[in-house]
Structure 1
């Protein structure tokens, strides 16, 4: 893939990823815990595992970078996760903040492994 075309595709995929994240944030009702961020980050971890295990070997690293760097990079959000955790802690909910961190990391890692496993199982 030509470098300029790849950069444009990464940008377009990034815009799509950001819009999908916004859509999920709007669909998931506001709760006492930041569920929307958890959903996008865990879903993104699963998708990245799948992309790296299945898309990259089949379609090549250039296509995989459009999906992983572009779409998933904009879809997932570490900065929002960090600030939501800080906000929970500062509002006197240190236990909820710690639980949110533990659940996010635990589910994120499990999702990445599951995505990778699924991707590998789809290979011939």
Structure 2
């Protein structure tokens, strides 16, 4: 893992649940840490699928970063206007040298207007 490969600044955010009686699904996100990472998008032809009758354009990517203790699968990555959920990982690279994740960004396919 070379430092020069980590050319994207991403935010790792963790969920803050809303424990009120009517707060189901309305939790907030807070910053856990900002890091430099390597983000590699998968080929577009493999990222479209039909999910529950709705065509979704999922943008799967692989994210690598230096090892950080405490990153869990319930967190999310934010890079600019892209919000990505963790699909797989964290996988430890080497002996606590780095972490690797598979993430996906979901957007409805077609014209959003």
- Could you say whether these structures have the same fold, taking a TM-score greater than 0.5 normalized by the shorter chain as the test? no
Higher relative CO (CA 8 A, sep ≥ 6), structure 1 or 2?
A: 1
TM-score of the superposed pair, with normalisation by structure 2: 0.30
Between structures 1 and 2, the one with greater helix share: 1
TM-score of the superposed pair, with normalisation by structure 1: 0.28
